[in-house]
Structure formats: structure tokens, C-alpha cells
Amino acid sequence: MHDRGYIVSASSLSDHIPDLDLITYYAETRQTCFSKVSPWTKFSLLILIVLLVTLTRDVIILTALYCIVLLAYAGARLPVRTLFAWYALPVIFVLSLAGIMAWNEPGNAVISFSIAGIPFVLTDNGIMLIVILLLKALIVVTYSMFFLMTTRYQHFSAMIYRIFPSPIDQIFLMAYRFLFLTLAMIGSILKAVHSRGGGLIHSIRMQGRLFADIFALVFIRSFDRSERVHKAMIARGFSGSYGTAAEVPGLRMSEYLLVGVSAALVLAVALITPRFGG
């Protein structure tokens, strides 16, 4: 699918894995008020949000924060249904951890049973723990997607170049484009496999072998490609580092105010949270 010169992948690897092409498409083409907000403002708010979800366990604050970031995401005209599909991975991650931790939490029993004489009790506090951890994960995921999908890549890469020391910035700047190429390569290998009837589940053993073969092929091709890219860089005098030319738009007065108020709110939550002496 083409739109204003951008190609949106017709089929991503899975509906439940964030699609890099789609994220970049929205970042480069969507023009809403959120796209005009300085990337530094969005980055500062990301730090504050991470701080806030680390500090608080208050379900009301977390629910309110989740609603705010989800509204911002929808307000930026980003695809909400796609976001819910992308929640699959963080939800599985949280459930795999909290699903174990939640059992036998002190509180009022909701479900209880025993296996081989070992009692298992799921209490109201256990359920609350799952809800809180899920909310925390989804807030960060939603805001991160909002940040990525409303910030042009040239600004994003320029921020990375300014924030991180070398060689982390160099690795990031090169990895991004390489990631696109590798994903395209995997996509074409999978197409070739499907076009000859492969990829259908015949047996777990066969499926495992197929994925191992694809992984090995992608690894070898990526290695080969990285050698060619390096050669092309040497041909233009590469001596170990390179930068990016883009300027990141600065904060406006209203944005300073927004960040200041947000920081004050986080500080207030920190002060009223028992662990931090409130």
C-alpha cells in the first residue's frame, strides 16, 4: 500500500508484534497537534511516566493515567485496535510473572484449591496485583507507542545521537535501518516458504526445524549484508563514527509549563507514597 510515498507493509510478521513499518508510517505522515510537540517534551514526559508507575501502586492513579495516555494516543489519530493487538506481548509477559506471584498473597480468598496437598489461594490482593502490574505495563507501552508514532525518525535519531555516548548512539543509528532490511528479508523468506506450501503445521519437529533453518539463513544473510555495508562505508572514508544532521525542535513555553506541572505531580505522588516517607 502506498501513501504519500510511504509503503505500509501489507502484512507484518504478526498482528501482535509491533510493526516497524506501520509505526514509521504514522510518525512520518500523521500531522496532528501531537506531532508538533517537541520530541524533548515527549521524552521528558516518558521519563516522568516511568517514574510515576514505578512509585505508585494506587489503582485509581494508574487507571487515570492509563486513560490519559490512551486518550492522547487516540487523539493523535493512531490506530487503537492495532494497539490492543500489540498489547498481547506485554500482557503475556505480565501474566507469566504476576500469574505466579499472585497466588497465596495475603487477603480475602476468591479462589482456593489444592493440588497434591499443596493449597493454592487466589485472594483479592492477588487479583489487584495482576491488575496493577497490567496497568503499569500498558501505560508505558501505550505512551511509548504514542511517542514513537508521533515523532519523526530524523528527530528521534538526532535525540539518540545527542543523548547516548558513542558507540551506543552509533549502534542505534545503524541498527534501525538494518532492522528494516532484516525484517524485509524475513518477510521475503517467509513468503517463499509459504508459496511452496511450507509453514503449515505438519509436526512440531518439522516446524521447529523450519524456524531453525530460517533463523540460520537470516543470520548468514545479515552477516553478509553487514560486511557489504561496512565496505560501502569504508569506500566513503568511514573512520569509526558518524553523526546526524537533523535539529530537534526545542520546547515552547507551554511545553516547559506542561513538563514542570507533570514533574510536580510526580513529586507529589512520591511524597504521599508511604515507601518514600509521605
Q: Which residues here bind other proteins, judged by CB under 8 A?
A: 5-7, 24, 28, 153-154, 157, 173-174, 176-178, 180-181, 225, 228-229, 231-239, 242-246
Q: How far is the CB of 13 from other proteins (least distance, A)?
A: 16
Q: Are 45 and 143 in contact (CB under 8 A)?
A: yes
Least distance (Å) from other proteins to the CB of residue 230?
A: 9
Shortest Cβ distance from residue 6 to other proteins (Å)? 5
Return d(Cα 224, Cα 25) in angstroms, integer.
28
Q: What share of the chain is helix, strand, coil (3-state, %, to 5)?
A: 70, 5, 25
Tell me how far apart the alpha carbons of residues 178 and 101 are, in angstroms, rounded to a whole number. Answer: 38
Cα separation, 144 vs 166, in Å, equals: 24
> ∠ CA 88-78-173 to the nearest 5 degrees?
80
Q: Is the Cβ of residue 106 or residue 240 nearer to other proteins in the bound state?
A: 240
CB of 117 to other proteins, least distance (A): 59
**How many Å apart are CA 222 and CA 81, to the nearest integer?**
33
Query: Does the CA dihedral 154-139-267-130 come out positive or negative?
Result: negative
From the CB of 141, what's the least distance to other proteins, in Å?
24
Torsion of CA 180, 181, 187, 189, to 10 degrees: -160
Indicate the residue among 82 and 154 with the shorter CB distance to other proteins. 154
Q: Which helix (DSSP H) or strand (DSSP E) does residue 122 occupy?
A: strand 118-123
Q: At closest approach, how far in Å is the CB of 236 from other proteins?
A: 4
Between 57 and 221, CB nearer to other proteins: 221
Report the residue number, 34 or 156, with the smaller CB distance to other proteins: 156
Looking at beta carbons only, is 28 or 105 nearer to other proteins?
28
Q: Which residue lies nearer to other proteins by CB, 84 or 242?
A: 242
Pick the closest to residue 10 from 145, 187, 196, 152 (CA basis).
187
Shortest Å distance, C-beta 152 to other proteins:
8
Cell, residue 94: 505480565
Residue with smaller CB distance to other proteins, 16 or 152: 152
